[in-house]
């Protein structure tokens, strides 16, 4: 298997980076007319070294300060660096800034290359080597080999090639396995006979010829017509490789530098990013809450507002948790590193790693948020999940969302959820077991309190209960908790109203009131389908109170009819009996008319029509013209 590594060729302007790459690979990376005329790299240049068992992609980044944004778009794709220093000039401003950026991006390997050695004496060369040694002291290049070269005289080039191959063999790291592709676009152009072509360094993958991809942040779907790597047509490219993608079913104005190609549904546009920011030591000012900065990753360059999460401010040389609120939609992945720069004057401030994509808006100094983000920084999957569960509270967590955030397989997610002591909410969500237990206790306490304050009301519906509970609770979580409490015998359900099993609203009535209530109930039971009018039944205040209670607890049911002025009331046992008789006589999907029901139940149309309208309104029956039938679940 051919292994692959991407190295950024970094350093100050006119220190010989492009000439070095040309000598190493035979490839001219200055492809623009303006670059050739000025002898100055303006955009990223790409070349490669082919070895028997490996390939090294070289990204020649512009050294001039004016083109630092192009440099950063190349640097966020690299695995290591060739730090280039001209022997006749030594360490210069862009040497420092490029190297600062490499460290902020977490680069951990590389080589030091001294160029233009033919222009200096041995003593001068020794002096610049010592200067570079002090410069990289206590950094990832502290023990890196130093190769002395001259592109003009081909001096040191074979040695540099050998060191590059050794660096790849010793240091190549496997790319993260993911369920989708992620390709930030750094160049877009049209080719006659081919159409639209986009280029970039594939971060996550693979990409396959002939497959559909999503273009973000616009969200359009395109098809890969062809793929090239190192000027050769290929069927498939893997993470870390430079790739040119020929696309169809997309217009040129729908794709531009800064766009992203991804597996459909894998990536999402966002305006918020939770990040860990590390500041450079040489700054004079702290990073303050509310400050505007320029954020760069991939080919994206966006202005964002800083919201500090764990500190009042971040001092030079230190780190902190930050929520970046971008002024426009961005698309990225948690594996990507970023750089932040000031707006005016423009200089690099710091950089860091992305912890969460599209997070909620956080309160500052929220301990649960801080703990969760710190666990992500530490890479502790168990603590990350536990912190996320606590942060989600009674809303619960979408399993698929947190699984993708953690970057683990479904099987690993299942085992992790079990070890984290979670409760499954159906097949799609989980909740912390302790939080869920508290929720169930809160439900019982809420209903107990309601019974105490409303002794003559039978209980609460799910909708009413959610309003009485003080915490934010997902409807699915509350519904499952109530169902479990009911099956455990701690709650009683009657027509979607929940109460405690031992609660009886009749106990709130006096002995005389109870006697009246029993009397009224017996009247409606006896009269069956020919109930008395309400005015006929309610003759005094005692009967009015008893009647209201019987209606409240569902013993007496006012029929829901098309005529809102009607006031037909039946005993619930009578309605239940009618349902049972209809099910027996007219089983689904048998249809029936008003006349057939009237004859079957031996009742007057005066009462049968309001009764059937009530059954329609409550979902027991379905009416089509003059024919009704029971619903199939009845």
Nearest to 502 by CA among 448, 567, 565, 436: 448
The pLDDT mean for the chain works out to 87
Distance of alpha carbon 99 from alpha carbon 85, whole angstroms: 11
Among 506, 534, 555, identify where a domain stops.
Answer: 506
pLDDT score, position 550: 84
Residues 7 and 22 in one domain: yes
pLDDT score, position 421: 87
Contact 556, 529 (CB under 8 A): no
Does this model's pTM top 0.85? My answer is no
Residues 304 and 339 in one domain: yes
Domain that includes residue 88, residue range: 3-171
Residues 12 and 153 in one domain: yes
Residues 299 and 359 in one domain: yes
With bands split at pLDDT 50, 70 and 90, how would you rate the model's confidence at 84?
Answer: very high
420 belongs to a structural domain: no
Residue with tokens 């001068």: 124
Distance of alpha carbon 155 from alpha carbon 144, whole angstroms: 19
222 belongs to a structural domain: yes
Contact 270, 357 (CB under 8 A): yes
Domain count, the chain: 5
Distance of alpha carbon 80 from alpha carbon 380, whole angstroms: 26
**Where does residue 512 rank: exposed (0-12), middle (13-18), buried (19+ CB within 10 A)?**
exposed
pLDDT per residue over 348-361, tens digit each? 999 999 998 888 89
402 belongs to a structural domain: no
Among 171, 197, 221, identify where a domain stops.
Answer: 171
Kindly report the CATH number assigned to the domain that includes residue 311.
2.40.30.10
pLDDT score, position 515: 86
Asked which of 163-177, 355-369, 507-521 is least confident by mean pLDDT, the reply is 163-177
Taking residues 108-131, what's their average pLDDT?
95
Residues 254 and 190 in one domain: yes
Residues 136 and 11 in one domain: yes
425 belongs to a structural domain: no
Bin 460: left if φ > 0, else alpha if -120 < ψ < 50, else beta. beta
Q: Quick check: 531 pLDDT over 50?
A: yes
Distance of alpha carbon 603 from alpha carbon 312, whole angstroms: 78
Residues 149 and 40 in one domain: yes
Residues 10 and 153 in one domain: yes
pLDDT per residue over 256-313, tens digit each? 888 999 999 889 999 999 999 999 999 999 999 999 999 999 888 999 999 999 999 9
Q: Quick check: 407 pLDDT over 80?
A: no
Tokens (6 digits) for 315: 């001092």
Q: Which residues contact 484 (CB under 8 A, 6 or more apart)?
A: 440
With bands split at pLDDT 50, 70 and 90, how would you rate the model's confidence at 178?
Answer: low
pLDDT score, position 71: 58
Contact 458, 495 (CB under 8 A): no
Residues 215 and 127 in one domain: no
Residues 223 and 244 in one domain: yes
pLDDT score, position 28: 67
Higher pLDDT, 448 or 73: 448
Asked which of 259-268, 557-566, 583-592 is least confident by mean pLDDT, the reply is 557-566
Asked which of 5-9, 75-79, 161-165, 395-399 is least confident by mean pLDDT, the reply is 75-79
Count of other CB atoms within 10 angstroms of residue 405: 19
Kindly report the CATH number assigned to the domain that includes residue 476.
1.10.10.10
493 belongs to a structural domain: yes
Distance of alpha carbon 436 from alpha carbon 432, whole angstroms: 6
379 belongs to a structural domain: no
Nearest to 261 by CA among 199, 338, 334: 199
Residue with tokens 């609460």: 460
CA distances to 28, 299, 380 from 363, in Å: 52, 30, 24
Residues 536 and 604 in one domain: yes
pLDDT score, position 496: 83
Q: Quick check: 177 pLDDT over 80?
A: no
Kindly report the CATH number assigned to the domain that includes residue 36.
3.40.50.300
426 belongs to a structural domain: no
Residues 516 and 608 in one domain: yes
398 belongs to a structural domain: no
Among 506, 525, 552, identify where a domain stops.
Answer: 506
């Amino acid at each position: 298997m051919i292994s692959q590594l991407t190295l950024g060729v970094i350093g100050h302007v006119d220190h010989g980076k492009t000439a070095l790459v040309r000598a190493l690979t035979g490839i001219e990376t200055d492809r623009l007319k303006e670059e050739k005329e000025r002898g100055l790299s303006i955009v990223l240049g790409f070349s490669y070294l082919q070895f028997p068992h490996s390939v090294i992609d070289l990204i020649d980044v512009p050294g001039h300060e004016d083109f630092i944004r192009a440099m950063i778009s190349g640097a966020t794709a690299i695995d290591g660096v060739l730090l280039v220093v001209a022997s006749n000039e030594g360490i210069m401003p862009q040497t420092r800034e490029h190297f600062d950026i490499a460290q902020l991006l977490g680069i951990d390997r590389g080589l030091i290359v001294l160029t233009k050695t033919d222009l200096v004496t041995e003593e001068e060369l020794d002096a610049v080597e010592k200067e570079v040694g002090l410069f990289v002291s206590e950094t990832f290049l502290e023990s890196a080999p130093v190769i002395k070269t001259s592109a003009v005289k081909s001096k040191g080039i074979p040695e540099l090639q050998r060191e590059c191959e050794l660096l790849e063999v010793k240091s190549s790291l496997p790319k993260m396995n993911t369920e989708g592709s992620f390709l930030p676009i750094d160049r877009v152009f049209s080719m006659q006979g081919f159409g639209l072509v986009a280029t970039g360094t594939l971060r996550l993958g693979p990409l396959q010829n002939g497959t559909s991809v999503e273009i973000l942040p616009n969200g359009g779907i395109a098809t890969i017509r062809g793929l090239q790597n190192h000027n050769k047509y290929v069927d498939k490219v893997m993470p870390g490789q430079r790739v040119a993608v020929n696309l169809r079913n997309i217009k040129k104005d729908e794709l531009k530098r800064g766009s992203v190609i991804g597996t459909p549904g894998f990536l999402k546009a966002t305006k918020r990013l939770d990040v860990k920011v590390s500041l450079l030591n040489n700054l004079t000012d702290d990073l303050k809450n509310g400050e505007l900065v320029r954020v760069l990753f991939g080919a994206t360059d966006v202005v964002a507002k800083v919201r500090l999460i764990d500190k009042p401010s971040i001092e030079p040389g230190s780190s902190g948790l930050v929520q970046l609120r971008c002024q426009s939609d961005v698309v990225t992945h948690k594996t990507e590193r970023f750089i932040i720069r000031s707006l005016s004057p423009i200089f690099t401030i710091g950089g860091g790693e992305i912890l969460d994509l599209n997070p909620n808006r956080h309160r500052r100094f929220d301990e649960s948020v801080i703990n969760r983000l710190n666990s992500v920084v530490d890479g502790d999957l168990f603590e990350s999940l536990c912190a996320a569960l606590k942060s989600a509270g009674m809303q619960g967590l979408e399993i698929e969302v947190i699984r993708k955030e953690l970057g683990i397989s479904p099987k690993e997610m299942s085992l992790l959820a079990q070890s984290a002591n979670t409760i499954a909410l159906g097949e799609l969500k989980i909740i912390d077991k302790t939080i869920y237990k508290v929720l169930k206790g809160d439900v019982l306490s809420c209903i107990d309190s309601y019974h105490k304050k409303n002794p003559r009301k039978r209980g609460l519906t799910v909708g009413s209960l959610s309003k009485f509970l003080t915490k934010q609770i997902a409807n699915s979580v509350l519904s499952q908790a109530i169902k479990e409490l009911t099956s455990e015998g701690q709650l009683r359900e009657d027509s979607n109203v929940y109460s405690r099993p031992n609660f009886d609203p009749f106990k709130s009535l006096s002995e005389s009131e109870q006697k009246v209530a029993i009397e009224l109930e017996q009247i409606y039971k006896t009269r069956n389908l020919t109930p008395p009018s309400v005015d006929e039944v309610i003759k005094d205040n005692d009967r009015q109170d008893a009647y209201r209670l019987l209606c409240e607890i569902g013993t007496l049911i006012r029929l829901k009819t098309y005529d809102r002025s009607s006031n037909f009331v039946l005993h619930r046992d009578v309605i239940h009996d009618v349902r049972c008789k209809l099910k027996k006589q007219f089983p689904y999907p048998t249809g029936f008319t008003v006349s057939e029901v009237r004859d079957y139940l031996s009742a007057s149309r005066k009462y049968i029509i309001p009764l059937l309208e009530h059954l329609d309104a409550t979902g027991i029956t379905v009416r089509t013209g003059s024919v009704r039938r029971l619903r199939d679940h009845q």
